A and B are shown apart, each in its own frame.
Chain A
Amino acid sequence: GQQLNQSPQSMFIQEGEDVSMNCTSSSIFNTWLWYKQDPGEGPVLLIALYKAGELTSNGRLTAQFGITRKDSFLNISASIPSDVGIYFCAGQRYNNNDMRFGAGTRLTVKP
């Protein structure tokens, strides 16, 4: 099945900087999800978006569900060292089992 196009693949930033990453698809999704994965662990859900145009925050994280329903972005403000990890987007179409994933954005934060 088609996966999502996630960019950038990796980012190297200085502590305190803001970060932005996005996910696009040629298909429409009903739900967009953002997960973070630390090395050797499973992905942890950060933000879930259910409506086109929805903008949701979770602490320093903000995510938006694109108005076309084909894209989403995640912003992290004032990055800190523990933000290091791989961030994945995921889109769900009609059913819970019909979920597609981006290849991930690997974030490195330099103190």
Chain B
Amino acid sequence: DGGITQSPKYLFRKEGQNVTLSCEQNLNHDAMYWYRQDPGQGLRLIYYSQIVNDFQKGDIAEGYSVSREKKESFPLTVTSAQKNPTAFYLCASSEDRGNQPQHFGDGTRLSIL
């Protein structure tokens, strides 16, 4: 089945710890995205990547980092600098031509211990 796989489904972070969220897609999409979702708010863009080895900051990049070493993978690291990391994190991908819709994974819920 083609799609976007996020793991883990649930993740707990201790104080001062970095954690990495995985996102893998087999849709052959060039573009990948990370969003943060908080209750009662729209999705906010953290980082995006339009091509391997290149990525750009979104609206709320502080305290996060990403890498794009392979076309199918776009992991997100939530660093200890992110003081309010509790949220639902969504990964998406799309074809990078015209206004192609983004397709989402099933998300990772990150909580603080």
User: Which chain A residues have a beta carbon within 8 Å of chain B's beta carbons?
Assistant: 1, 3-4, 6, 9, 30-31, 33, 35, 40-45, 48, 50, 88, 90, 92, 96-97, 99-104
The residue of chain A having its C-beta at the shortest distance from the C-beta of B3 within the complex is A42
B104 touches A42 (CB 8 A): yes
Besides A45-B101, A96-B95, A97-B58, 5 new A-B residue pairs in contact (Cβ under 8 A), listed by A number:
A40-B109, A43-B104, A90-B43, A96-B96, A104-B42
With A42-B90, A44-B104, A97-B31 as known contacts, state yes or no: A103 contacts B41, CB within 8 Å. yes
User: Which chain B residues have a beta carbon within 8 Å of chain A's beta carbons?
Assistant: 4, 6, 9, 31, 33, 40-45, 48, 50, 56, 58-59, 90, 92, 94-96, 99-107, 109
B59 touches A1 (CB 8 A): yes
**For residue B50, which residues in chain A have a CB less than 8 angstroms away from its CB?**
96-97
A45 touches B99 (CB 8 A): no
The residue of chain A having its C-beta at the shortest distance from the C-beta of B35 within the complex is A101
Chain B: minimal CB distance from A104 (Å): 7
A96 touches B104 (CB 8 A): no
Chain A: minimal CB distance from B90 (Å): 5
Neighbour of A31 across the interface among B45, B99, B105, B107, CB < 8 A: B99
With A33-B101, A97-B56, A101-B42 as known contacts, state yes or no: A41 contacts B106, CB within 8 Å. yes
A103 touches B40 (CB 8 A): yes
With A96-B31, A97-B50, A97-B56 as known contacts, state yes or no: A43 contacts B99, CB within 8 Å. no
Neighbour of B42 across the interface among A3, A33, A50, CB < 8 A: A3
Q: How far is the CA of A65 from the CA of B106 in the complex (A)?
A: 27
B106 touches A88 (CB 8 A): no
B99 touches A30 (CB 8 A): yes
